Structure 1
Amino acid sequence: MTSTAPSNARAHELADRFEATFGAAPHGVWAAPGRVNLIGEHTDYNEGFVLPFAIDNRARTAVRLRDDSTVRLLSTSGDQRLVEAATTALAPGTVTRWAKYPLGVVWALQQHGIEVPGFDLLLDSDVPLGAGLSSSHAIECAVATALNELTGAGLSAEEMVLLTQHAENAFVGAPTGIMDQSASLRGATGHAVFLDCRDQSVELVPFQTLEAGLVLLVIDTKVEHSHADGGYASRRAACELGAERMGVKALRDVAVADLQNASGLLDATTFRRVRHIVTENDRVLQTVDVLQTRGPAHIGPLLDASHASMRDDFEISCPELDLAVDTARIHGAIGARMTGGGFGGSAIALTPVQDEQQVRDAVTRAFADAGLTRPDIFTVTPSAGAARIP
């Protein structure tokens, strides 16, 4: 959605469908965006810096409270089987499929001491699944925003960030940080969210691509990934080991100048993991400075360096992501990198408007020549955060 009117129209259609499905109108429709991380990968759980932005693809939830403890969940796409659960019987590991995201939020609210009644919910999302654009967090943030209002919990955006992180970590079982929720809950149109993951402080940084004659292309490789898999967890464990060996609370406390000493304290693999985090934190700070002083047309080399670090030091890229990034660069992108947790998902390519079609065509052709599934390529713009839709 690139404007308010289409978003409102889609919300009204969802409300009508909810009423036809559940027999009564919803109490409201709430939406939360997916996110693209411009730069700062895997730095969030190391108490570092990230620079994501909310995108114009959203999860929308029509919700109506019930007078019992039953929760009924339905999606307009994908797995459309009705899910029923009781708010009184939620526990980690007891819920599967997409229902674990909204029910994880319910569980986390209960852990926070907030009583949540039963409710009916209809989900509609255009955030691509498995593409590294945080489709699951968009669902969680939409549900958290809805239930926060409907229950009168009065949680701040910062509190909802931590609450949805707790749902992800303890209920869903994914050891993620706070970046995705922060972008979804605290995003603003035309801005990236410069987040300090140590203290949750946020600074909105102008990131207006069209005004600079640029578009940000997302290249969904169609290689699905999962944050709850071993690859993500092993990278986090390596970071924790590196911090312990270096005697710091988190890798946030290690400077680029400290890396020479680190090489003598760590095994080769752990050192590479640490080097990625330390240099990536530095790249985030540099990117913020460049955006504030020179504008988005000058951040390309930082995006390129970030991808090289993720490919070589953190080893979370894959052949499809590398092909997308390399092809986009050759055919006009001023900078490109994989985005998200890695092991699949999407790449981003910051591209002059006049070269957009050339980059699209070249990437599509390169994937076909390699015998790969056709990628989905689309543009995103920095969007507003989670809210009720009028």
Structure 2
Amino acid sequence: MTTVTIEDAFTELYGAGPEGVWAAPGRVNLIGEYTDFNDGFVMPLALPHTAVAAVSRRTDGVLRVHSADVSQGVVQLRLDALEPLSDTGWAAYPAGVVWALREAGHPVTGADIHLSSTVPTGGGLSSSAALEVVTATALNDLYELGLSASQLAVLAQRAENDFVGVPCGIMDQMASACCTEGNALYLDTRDLSQRQVPFDLAAQGLQLLVVDTRVKHALGDGAYAERRAGCEAGARALGVRALRDVPYAELPSALERLADEGENVRRYVRHVVSDDHRVEQVIALLDAGDVRAVGPVLVEGHVSLRDDLRVSCPELDLVVSSATAAGALGARMTGGGFGGSAIVLVEEATAAVVSKAVTEAFAAAGHTAPRIFPAVPSQGARRVA
């Protein structure tokens, strides 16, 4: 059986070979959820699953994009006609990046792009950020723009915020662009300062499992924007630039000052300030080499996401309860919630037992069987051919 390469597919689509091939990964977030749009701290790691793009330049102001994963032909767009919030479906992600680059004054004159991705869609693993970052990385190289990985991430975020219309923070794009193999990325989302934190679980006899619940609840529609607005209202009421400026030690008094802001705002503030603190706890534990002690912090994070932010769902809660009951060191939902994925920290020797327990719990509850795989800290965006 002959394997068709992405270069072959590009050639068949566009009549000539690509100038190069690039890859950008999806991500899971170890800790720090809904903190990135509050100028807070996050700690994602890149997955081995990637969006791959074969790309060539054009000089006629035309963008042609095709996805091997969507049953649709080549989408052709004129660069001078790209409009934010226009309905271009999946193609809005690469098109938005081209738009953002041109809006920033970069001389992009067109491109032919063929995409293929192994990042699970709808799993909360940043499949959209991977599409954006791989497009930005390829065009940066081909047009010799000289932009850093962080700068590309900011432009990719602008594409998603302003062109696609999703008010996401910067974490997903920074993770896809800047993560390195074997490390988690400790990121300050205010100034984008970062530190690569060694995260070699195998050396400790551990594994981090991703459990993709394969569900996405409609309740999530608009809920992200509502929580973002609530966090911003809390910051205004407390007189701070962002919730990251509320010290954890002062959280009780801050919540008292928010008595008139409504219960939702108080809960959102409690989650964000405490989750920033949990990131700092995890950093200290990893620096001390005490990886197993991270487990209970993950569970605390899940409880906060479930009870204060209220972005969990029965399937995600079942992952956490069944995994911990089967001996996992800790677990929590990761990503935006209302479905998607959870992470589970396990002893390598018990990974199969925990996976089986979660799968059986899903079957007993009548849920679709989850997809479970290990999260291996992988390389961020790069040229591969």
1:279 — aligned with what?
274
What secondary structure does 1:384 align onto?
A: coil
Q: 1:169 maps to which residue?
A: 161
Structure 2 residue aligned with 1:51: 43
SS in 2 for 1:264: helix
Q: Which moved more, 1:68-77 or 1:343-352?
A: 68-77
Residue identity opposite 2:189 in structure 1: C
AA at the equivalent of 1:135: S
Residue identity in the other structure for 2:28: V
Q: Secondary structure at the match of 1:130?
A: coil
Are the counterparts in 2 of residues 176 and 227 from structure 1 also a CA contact under 8 Å?
no
The aligned residue for residue 4 of structure 1 is none
Q: 1:98 to 1:138 in 2, by over 3 A?
A: same
1:153-168 aligned at under 5 Å gives the runs 153-168=145-160
Q: CA deviation at 1:228?
A: 8.7
What is aligned with 1:231? Answer: 223
Residue deviations 1:151-200 (CA, integer Å, cap 9, x gap): 12111112112111111110111111111111111111110000001110
Question: How far, CA to CA, are the matches of 2:378 and 2:129 in structure 1?
Answer: 15
CA distance in 2, matches of 1:211, 1:225: 37
Task: Tell which deviates more after alignment, 151-160 or 44-53.
Answer: 151-160
For 2:88, the equivalent position in structure 1 comes to: 96
Equivalent of 1:195 in 187, 195, 218: 187
Structure 1: tracts of 5 or more residues without a match: 1-9
Q: Give 2:264's aligned residue.
A: 269
Per-residue CA distance 1:276-308 (angstroms, 9 max, x = gap): 000000000010110011242221011010000
Counterpart contact for 1:174–1:227, Cα < 8 Å? no
Report which stretch shifted further, 132-141 or 13-22: 13-22
Question: What are the superposed Cα offsets for residues 75-96 of structure 1, whole Å, 9 maximum, x if unpaired?
Answer: 1123333211111110112133
Task: Give the structure 2 partner of residue 348 of structure 1.
Answer: 343
Q: Is the 8 A contact 2:220 2:337 kept in 1?
A: no
Q: Which residue of 2 aligns with 1:60?
A: 52
Give the distance between the partners of 2:84 and 2:360, measured in 1 at CA. Answer: 44
Q: 2:201, 2:207 within 8 Å by CA — same for their partners in 1?
A: yes
Q: Structure 2 unaligned segments of length 5 or more: list them.
A: none
Q: Is the 8 A contact 1:321 1:344 kept in 2?
A: yes
2:353 aligns with one of 342, 354, 358 = 358
2:245 corresponds, among 244, 253, 257, to 253
| Partner residue in 2 for 1:135 | 127
Q: Deviations over 1:217-261 (max 9, x none)?
A: 111111126899310000100100000000100000101222222
Contact 1:174 1:228 in 2 (8 A): no
Are positions 1:152 and 2:144 aligned together? yes
Amino acid across the alignment from 1:17: A
Cα distance in 1 for residues equivalent to 2:59 and 2:242: 46
1:60-88 alpha-carbon deviations (Å, 9 max, x no partner) = 00011123122111111233332111111
- For the residues of structure 1 that align with 2:276 and 2:41, how far apart are their CA atoms? 6
- CA distance in structure 1 between the partners assigned to 2:44 and 2:217 by the alignment: 19
* Residue identity in the other structure for 1:28: G
Indicate if the aligned counterparts of 1:132 and 1:225 stay in contact, CA closer than 8 A: no
* 1:330-345 map, 5 Å: 330-345=325-340
Distance (Å, rounded) in 2 between the aligned partners of 1:227 and 1:114: 39
What value does the CA root-mean-square deviation take over the aligned residues?
1.6
The CA distance in 2 between the partners of 1:228 and 1:90, in whole Å, is 28
Larger mean Cα displacement after TM superposition, 63-72 or 209-218: 63-72
Of 76, 98, 107, the match for 1:106: 98
Instruction: Kindly report which structure 2 residues correspond to 1:278-297, keeping only aligned pairs within 5 A, or say none.
Output: 278-297=273-292
TM-score normalised to structure 2 length: 0.96
Aligned length: 381
- TM-score normalised per structure 1: 0.95
Question: 2:379 aligned with 1:384, yes or no?
Answer: yes
SS at match of 1:203: strand
Amino acid at match of 2:293: H
1:369 to 361, 364, 369: 364
